[in-house]
Structures are given as C-alpha cells and as structure tokens.
Amino acid sequence: MKVFADKLPDALSKSLPPVVIIAGDEPLQHMEACDLVRRQAREAGVEERDVLDVEANFAWGRLTEAGASMSLFASRKLIELRLGSSKPGQEGGKALKEYAESAAGSDNMLLIMAGRLDAREQKSAWFKALDKIGLFVPVWPVDASRLGFWLRDRAQVHGLNLSLDAARLLGERTEGNLLAADQELQKLALILPPGSQVSPRQVAGDVESSARYDVFTLIDACLKGERERLIRILAGLQAEGTEAPIVLWALTREIRILLSLHQHLDQGQSFEHACKAQKPPIFDKRRPLYQQAIGRLPLRRLHKLLMFAQRLDLSIKGASDLPLHQGLQDLALTLAGGRGLLAELPSSYRVG
C-alpha cells in the first residue's frame, strides 16, 4: 500500500507491517522515514537489527538466511536491505518475492531502503508481492511551487513561525536542498526564542552570516563570471578549513547541470523547459545566471571541465600529482569564463 512520507507516522502507529519499502532520492525525507521505522520497531519490541548492503555480486541467499535464522537474544528482528541505486535483477527479484510469500508466518520486519523505483520496477512481481503485505513510501523532492509551504510547516517542527516569504527565500538560498534548509532552521531555533516569528530579513542574515564563505556563494560567482570575487571566496574557503572534496563536488555539480541544459537545448527544447527538467528544478530567480553561463561555455569546454574535475578527484585520492588548490582555482576560473592559471603544469593538465 502506498503511503506518503507525511502520513507514515499515522500508518505505523496503527500496526507494524512486515515490510516497508522507502524509495526515492530526497535525502532528508528518506532518512527521517527510515529513522521513524526503526523507532517504531524498537517500541514494538523489535530489539535486533540485521543490515544487508546490496553491492556488486551480492549473495541474495543472505536475505533468505536473515529471514529464517532465529535470534539468540530477541524474538523479533528488523532486517535492513539497503539497495541504494542498485536493482534487484532476476535473482534478487526472486528472493524478494519468496521473502514476501514466507513473511506471513514470521515476526521479523523487512525495511528496504532504495533509490527511486521507476514504473517498471513498481510493476514487477517482487514489488507487487511486497507491496501487497506492507507499505511503500515514495520519497520525492518537494515541487518548487510547494517548497515555501513545506518549509513553513517544517519551521514549526523546530518551534519557529516562518512567514511564507521567508520560507520561499530560504528555499531559494538553499536551492531546494531540504537537508541544507533544515540545518538553517535548526540554527535559527538555537538563537531565537521558541515561537519566534522569522522574517525574510532574518533568514537572509542568518544564511549569509552562518558561512561568510560557502560553496553556494562560490557557485554564484562562477555563474556570474565574477573571477576576482571567486578567487577571494576560494581563499576564504581554504582559510576556514572547508574540505577540497566539498568544493569539487559543488563545482562538478554545476558543470553537470550546465551540460544537461545544453543537451536539452540541443534537442530543441526551450530554456525554461530545460530548467524545469533539472532535479531539483532551477528557480526562476536563478535562471538568468545559468543562461549567462551556457552562453559563454560551449559544450566542448564543459566536457573538458568535467574531465579536469575527474583529475582533481584523483588528486584528492592521492592518485595524481595535480596541485589540488591551484587546480580547484583553475576549474572555477574557467567555469567563470576565464582561463586557468596553471602555467607551470604540462599542457595535458590544463583546461582548454
């Protein structure tokens, strides 16, 4: 039975199902739904937990063994099957279907944690068998049109009253990232009295003061082509101890977004449609930044930037002698429309 994340507490309070499938690519709601299942299981007397991570060459017989084995310390146990982005395949589908058929006589509970399950997966025999006896919780990113309302309601969980304008501003500043937005709400709840009314000015001030230099301001500088400013931001990030993988992740993410926009445009789609097709969608306010960036960054250069980012990733892992901090600056400068400053490096290292 399908149950959305906001209705899951009510569904679990009525009875503990033998199977819960939580699937989707929105990390905050996914994490909290899994935590809720674990908490409800403990309250129902499920004291033991088996964790099965599905990776390459996973032995699906482990699921059957986990379901059949008796615990020495508890009468019931929670089996966590962490699929991630993996698909069960033929062998896994068979094992899951068999588990569903035997679950009626078991006191155990199966929690399946997965990425997004497409329509084909939801029509499979294994999914239908599990869905018939348990709960399916799809976790999707909050639509841009609903984000302000969602954040306004979320603020109340932290004892704050957010105006709708303030909630929408928070959504824009965190680019629809619910996890980042929730962290900002937690920080506001620490510095403001319970029940405080939060204005857009307070949201803007807190988000800006919480990180004088952050990867979001760096990305804005890159998209706007503000080369001198991005050099200052990079220096600030390094001085404040921001880890290089975080900076590289942010820059690489923007490169992939720009590549995706180019691909949609090359297929004859409008820029507006290309922005809406991104996950999460690009907000109206930020679209001119991306339009400006794709105008100065052809597809060929973006592919080179992505290859250069991969070399920097190898440097982070110790598999390349590419100077890391100078390389990040080269990547950011080229993304901003300039030329990299790695003159002393071999030409194969440079971004063309």
Out of 170, 195, 210, a domain closes at: 210
What is the total count of domains within the chain? 3
Per-residue model confidence (pLDDT) at position 70: 61
Q: Which residue among 112, 139, 166 closes a domain?
A: 139
**How many C-alpha atoms does 334 have within 13 Å on its Cβ side?**
27
Nearest partner of 227 among 332, 351, 91, judged by Cα:
332
pTM: 0.59
> How confident is the model over 29-55, as pLDDT tens digits?
999 999 999 999 988 888 888 889 888
- What tokens were used for 24? 């989707």
- CATH of residue 83's domain is 3.40.50.300
Residues ≥6 apart with Cβ < 8 Å to 124: 93
Nearest to 125 by CA among 79, 90, 158, 168: 90
Strand partners, 52: 81
Q: What is the pLDDT of residues 135-185, one digit of tens each?
A: 999 998 888 889 999 999 999 999 999 999 999 988 887 777 888 888 888
342 and 264 in a single domain? The answer is: yes
Same domain, 10 and 123: yes
Question: Does residue 19 share a domain with residue 104?
Answer: yes
Split at pLDDT 50, 70, 90, the class of 75 is low
| Residues 224 and 289 sit within 8 Å (Cβ to Cβ) | yes
pLDDT at residue 331 is higher than 80: yes
DSSP three-state, residue 113:
strand
Taking each continuous run of H as one helix and of E as one strand, the counts in the chain are: 17, 7
Asked whether the predicted pLDDT for residue 310 surpasses 70, the reply is yes
- pLDDT for position 73: 57
Tokens of 220: 């804005």
Q: How far is residue 210's CA from residue 296's CA, in Å, rounded to a whole number?
A: 32
Q: Which two tokens stand for residue 114?
A: 């997965």
Among residues 108, 110, 104, 101, the alpha carbon closest in space to that of 129 is found at 101
Assigned token pair, 163: 């105006």
Write the pLDDT tens digit of every residue in 9-24. Answer: 999 988 889 999 999 8
CATH number at residue 251: 1.20.272.10
Instruction: Provide the residue range defining the domain that includes 328.
Output: 215-349
Q: Is the pLDDT of residue 350 over 60?
A: no
- pLDDT tens by residue, 114-140: 988 888 899 999 999 999 999 999 998
Is pLDDT above 60 for 345? Answer: no
